[in-house]
Structure 1
Amino acid sequence: MVARPELELGLRANWKQFSLLVVVNAFVGAMVGMERSILPAIAEQEFRLVAHTAILAFIVVFGVSKAFTNYFAGRFSDTCGRKIVLVIGWLIATPVPFLLMWAPSWNWILLANVFLGVSQGLTWSTTVIMKIDLAGPNNRGTALGINEFAGYFAAGAAALATGWIASEVGLRPQPFYLGVAFVLIGLLLSVMVVRETRDYARLEAARTPSQGAAAMPSQSSIFWQTSVRDPNLSSLSQAGLVNNLNDGMAWGLFPVVFAGAGMTLAQIGTLAAIYPTVWGLCQLFTGALSDRIGRKGLIVAGMCVQALGIAIIAIASQFSWYAVGAVLLGLGTAMVYPTLLAAIGDAVSPAWRASTVGVYRFWRDLGYAVGAMLSGLVADQYGVASAVWLVAGITFLSGMFVAVRMRSGTQARKRSRK
C-alpha cells in the first residue's frame, strides 16, 4: 500500500504536526524529570535507605522496563501504527504521580518506576519515530535534535521545579502534583490532535525502490544486525547503552555526591537541572550539525566530552565546579544523543526503521539499569568517587570503540527527496 499522494515529506511541509509532537514530547520528558532531583532524598529521608544499590533500584526497574518496552514499541509501531502506541503509553503513565505521592514503602516507588519505564518506552519511542516519519531523509538530524531538546529541556525544568517545591514545602506530595498535569495534557493532546504518521514512512520507502520493494526482515534478524553483526548499528547500540549508563549513574549518585559536599536541596535541584537543560538546549544545534558534518566524529567527540564532565564532578567539591562538570556532561550528551538516532535512521529502510529504532533503544535504555547497578555496587564497595571515576573511564572507552569500529558514511541528507 502506497501512501496518499497528498502527503509530503519534510519539516516545512509538516510543521504543524511536527510542532505538536514536540510539545507532546516535552510532557513525556517532564514526567521523568520530576524524579531526578528528589527521589534519592526521599529514599534516604523517608524510607531510611542507606545502601546505594537499594537507593538506585528505582533506576534499575525504570531502565529494564523501558528497555524491553522500547523493543516491542518499535515493532508495534510498524505493524499497528504510531498513534495507538502513543496513547497507550500515556494511559500507563496515569498512576505514576499518585504512586509517588502516596507510596507507603519503597516497593511502591519501584512499582511507580515500572509504570514510568513502560510509559516512557511507548511514548518517547513513538514521538521519535513519528518525527523521523515526517522529516524525511534530508532533515533527520535536525528533527531529532528538536525532539530530544524538547524532552530533556522539559526534564531539566521539571527537576528544577520539583527541587524548588520540595525545598519550600516538603518532599511529598506537592512536587508530584505537576505529574498529574503532565499526564492529563499529554494524553488529551495525543488522543485529540496527534495524527497517524505511518503513511509517511511508506511514502519514503516507495521513493527509494531498492528499500521499498524489499521484504521486511524478521524481528530476530533486525535484533542481531543492530546488536552485533552490522558494524555501524552495533557501534551505535553500544554507544547508546554507555550514554544511558552514565546518565543512570548521574541520576542516582550525583545527588548523593552533591549532598555529601554540603549542597542544599535547592542547590542539588539546580545542579540536577543544569545537565539535562544544557543537553536539551544544545540538541537544537547538534542535531542539525550532524546533518552537515556527519555523524561519527560528533559521536566520538561527544563521548569524550561526557567523560571529561564526569571526571570534573568526581574531583570537585564546590558548586561552581559541579556546575562546570554538569555543563560539559550536558554538552557531550547533546553531541551524541540525536546523532545516534539520526545515524540509525540513515542506515536502514524506512519500512522497518521503527523496529530497528526499537532495538537500538532497547540497548540504550538498558544502560540505565546497567549504570545504576554497576555504580551502586562499586559505590557500596569502594566509595561513590570510585563509581563516578569508573563510569568516566567506560564512557571514554565507548567513544574509542566507535572511532575504531564505526564506518563513516554518507548522510541520508544527500539523497534526493524525489
Structure 2
Amino acid sequence: MTAVHQDTPRLGLRANVAQFSLLVGVNALVGGMLGQERTVVPLLATEVFGVPGYTAALTFIVAFGLAKAATNYVAGTLSDRFGRKPVLVAGWLVALPVPFLLIWAPSWGWVVFANVLLGISQGLTWSTTVVMKIDLVGPARRGLAMGLNEAAGYAAVALTALATGYLAAAHGLRPAPFYLGIAFAGLGLGISTLFVRETREHARLEARSHVARADGRHDHLGDHLGNGEVFVQTSFKEPALSSASQAGLVNNLNDGLAWGLFPVLFLSAGLSIERIGLLAAIYPLVWGVGQLVTGGLSDRWGRKWLIATGMGVQALGLAIMATAEGFGWWATAAVLLGAGTAMVYPTLLAAIGDVAHPAWRARAVGTYRLWRDGGFAVGAVLAGILADLYGVRTAIGTVAALTALSGVVVAVRMYETRHDPAHPVPTGDPR
C-alpha cells in the first residue's frame, strides 16, 4: 500500500523537489556542453583553421541551430509517445562524441559536424528537461520552474565559457578547454540513466484536472489537436503562442550573432583571450542568474510586458555593443543583453505552458523551440552576410533593430497568458 502511494504522481514544486532539483543539475550539465564552445570555437575558425569570411566562419552555428531546431520539434512528439526519460538519455548518448571531435578535428568540416551532433543533443536534452519540469510543478509555479531551469543552463554556459577562456590562454585552444565537455557528457548520461524518473504521468494527472481560464481565452483549442494543428496554432494562428514563437526566434537570432561575432569583434580590438572569455561569460551569466528572479516575477506580474520590455532591453544592449568601444562599454552592453534575455527566456516558455493544453503541451514546446532555436541559424547567416558586406558593427546594429521590432509585435499582438487557476469558468458557463 505504501509503495502505491509513493508512486502516485503529485503536482507541485514542494511535492517533487528531489526530482526537480536533480533535473536542474542535469540542465546545468546540458548548458556546460554548450558553454565549452562559446569562447573557443569562434577563435578556432580564425586562428587554427583560417576560415575565410564571417559567413563561412559562422557555419558551425548554422549547423547547430538547424539541428537543434529540428530536434526540438521531434523531441516533443517523441516524449509524448515514448516518455521523457528515454529522450533525455538518447540526447546524452549523442553528446558523448562532441568534445572528442572538437579536440581531434583535422578540418573545419569536422567542427561543423560536431555541432550537428551538439544541436541534436541539445534539442533532445534541453527540451526534455523543460517539459519534465513543467510536468512536475503544475500550473501555479510554471514561471519559477522555467526560471530555475534556464538559470541553471545558462549560468553553466557562462561559467564554462569563462573557464575555457582561461584554459585556452594557459594551454592553447585545443585540447584542454574541451576536457570539461567530456566530464559533463559522462556525468549527464550517468545521472539521467540511473536517477532521473519518468514524468509523463504528471502531465496526464494535470490533464485530468485541467480547468478553463476565467476569461475563456484559448481553451476552445481543446485537448485533441493533431501534430499539424499544434504546429499551425503555435507558429501562426493562436495570438499568444505565435507571438512567443517569433520573439523566441529573434531572441536566439541575436544570441547566434553574439556567439559568433562578439569574440571576433573583441579580438580585432586587441583584447586578450582572458578578457574575451570574461566578456563572453558576462552576458550568459547575467542571463542565467537573472532568471532566478524573472521566472518567479512572471508568475506574479504576468508574462506579456516582461517579454516586450525584455526585447527592448536586449535591443539597447546590442545598440551599445554596435556603437561603443572598449571593455567597459562592451561589459555594460553584455549586462543589458543578459538582463533583457533573462526577462524574456523563461517567460516565453511559461507562456507556452499557460496556453497549451497538457495533452499537447510537449508538442507545443517542441514547436516553439523549433522556431526559437532556428533563430541561431537565421542569426548566423544574417550576421555573417551583413558582416562580410558592411562590417561587424552594422550587423550588430541591424539585429538590434529587429529585436526592438519583435518587442513591438509582442506588445501589440500578445494577450496576457498568466491566469489564476483558483477562478475557473463555472460549470455550464457557455464560454
TM over 0.5: yes
**8 Å CA contact 2:40, 2:168 repeated in 1:** yes
Q: Corresponding residue for 2:269?
A: 261
Shift of 1:315: 1.4
* Map of 1:352 onto structure 2: 360
- 1:146 pairs, out of 139, 142, 148, with 148
Of 167, 170, 180 in structure 2, the residue corresponding to residue 168 of structure 1 is 170
Is 1:394 equivalent to 2:396 in the alignment?
A: no
Report the residue type matching 2:138 in the other structure: G
* Distance in 2, Cα, partners of 1:146 & 1:413: 22
Aligned partners of 1:34 and 1:182: how far apart in 2? 10
8 Å contact from structure 2 (residues 67, 116) kept in 1: yes
Alpha-carbon shift at residue 413 of structure 1 (Å): 5.7
Alignment of 1:18-417 (within 5 A): 18-208=20-210, 215-411=223-419
In structure 2, relative to structure 1, the CA distance for the partners of 1:186 and 1:415 (3 Å cut) is: farther
Report if the CA contact (8 A) 2:75-2:123 is conserved. yes
**Structure 1 contact 279–331 (Cα < 8 Å) conserved:** yes
Indicate conservation of the 8 Å contact 2:240/2:417, yes or no. Answer: no
Q: 1:378 to 1:234 in 2, by over 3 A?
A: same
Separation in 1, partners of 2:239, 2:222: 21
Distance 1:266 1:301, change over 3 A: same
Q: Post-superposition shift, 1:214? A: 5.1
**Amino acid paired to 1:132:** I
TM superposition shift of 1:414: 5.0
Amino acid at match of 1:183: A
Displacement, 1:47? 0.5
TM-aligned CA distance change 1:42 to 1:398, over 3 Å:
same
Contact kept in structure 2, 1:138 and 1:414, CA below 8 Å? no
Percent sequence identity is 60
Whichever residue aligns with residue 188 of structure 2, its letter is G
Look up the equivalent residue of 1:299 and give its one-letter code.
I
Q: Structure 1 residues 241 and 53 mapped into 2: Cα distance closer, same or farther (>3 Å)? A: same
SS in 2 for 1:259: helix
TM-superposed deviation, 1:216: 2.4
- The separation in 1 between residues aligned to 2:240 and 2:14, in whole angstroms, is 30
> Distance between the aligned counterparts of 2:209 and 2:144, measured in 1?
21
Task: Please give the alpha-carbon distance, in whole angstroms, between the structure 2 residues aligned to 1:394 and 1:382.
Answer: 17
Please give the alpha-carbon distance, in whole angstroms, between the structure 2 residues aligned to 1:244 and 1:222: 22
Aligned letter for 1:324? Answer: T
Q: Which runs of 5+ in 2 are unaligned?
A: 213-218, 425-431
> Separation in 1 of the partners of 2:211 and 2:291?
32
Deviations along 1:295-323, one digit per CA (max 9) or x if unpaired, are: 00000000000000111111121111110
Deviation of the 1:217 alpha carbon = 1.1
Give the whole-Å Cα distance in 2 for the aligned partners of 1:134 and 1:230.
Answer: 25
Q: Shift in Å at residue 6 of structure 1? A: 2.9
- Residues 140, 413 of structure 1: 8 Å contact kept: no
In the TM superposition, residue 260 of structure 1 has moved relative to its aligned partner by: 1.5
RMSD: 1.6
- SS of the aligned residue for 1:350 comes to coil
- Structure 1: 4+ residue segments shifted above 6 A: none
The question of whether the paired residues in 2 share the 8 Å contact of 1:160 and 1:272 is answered with yes
| TM-aligned CA deviation for residue 208 of structure 1 | 1.6
Q: Is the 8 A contact 2:355 2:417 kept in 1?
A: no
C-alpha distance 105-27 of structure 1, shift in aligned 2 (>3 A): same
Residue 254 of structure 1, CA deviation: 0.4
Q: 5+ residue gaps in structure 1?
A: none
* Matched residues, number: 414
Structure 2 SS opposite 1:196: coil
Q: 1:227 to 1:320 in 2, by over 3 A?
A: same
In 1, Cα distance between equivalents of 2:222 and 2:412: 31
- Give, as a single letter, the amino acid of the residue that structure 2 aligns with 1:157: L
- Counterpart of 2:17, as a letter, is W
Answer yes or no: is the 8 Å Cα contact 1:287–1:339 preserved in 2. Answer: yes
Counterpart secondary structure, 2:360: helix
Q: What secondary structure, in the 3-state scheme, does the structure 1 residue paired with 2:325 have?
A: coil
Aligned partners of 1:412 and 1:76: how far apart in 2? 31
CA distance in 2, matches of 1:246, 1:366: 12
Letter in 2 for 1:156: A
Does the CA contact (< 8 Å) of 1:138 and 1:415 recur in 2?
no
Cα separation, 1, equivalents of 2:210 and 2:20: 23
Structure-2 separation of matches of 1:63 and 1:267? 26
The verdict on how the C-alpha distance between 1:58 and 1:413 changes in structure 2, with shifts beyond 3 A counting, is farther
Q: Is the 8 A contact 1:153 1:281 kept in 2?
A: yes
Question: Partners in 2 of 1:182 and 1:131 — Cα distance?
Answer: 21
The 1:127/1:410 distance shift into structure 2, 3 A limit, reads closer
- Shift in Å, 1:50: 2.6
Does structure 2 retain, via aligned residues, the 8 Å contact 1:271–1:322? Answer: yes
- Answer whether contact 1:226 1:360 (CA < 8 A) is retained: yes
- Give the TM-score normalised by the residue count of structure 1: 0.97
1:22 Cα deviation after fit: 0.2
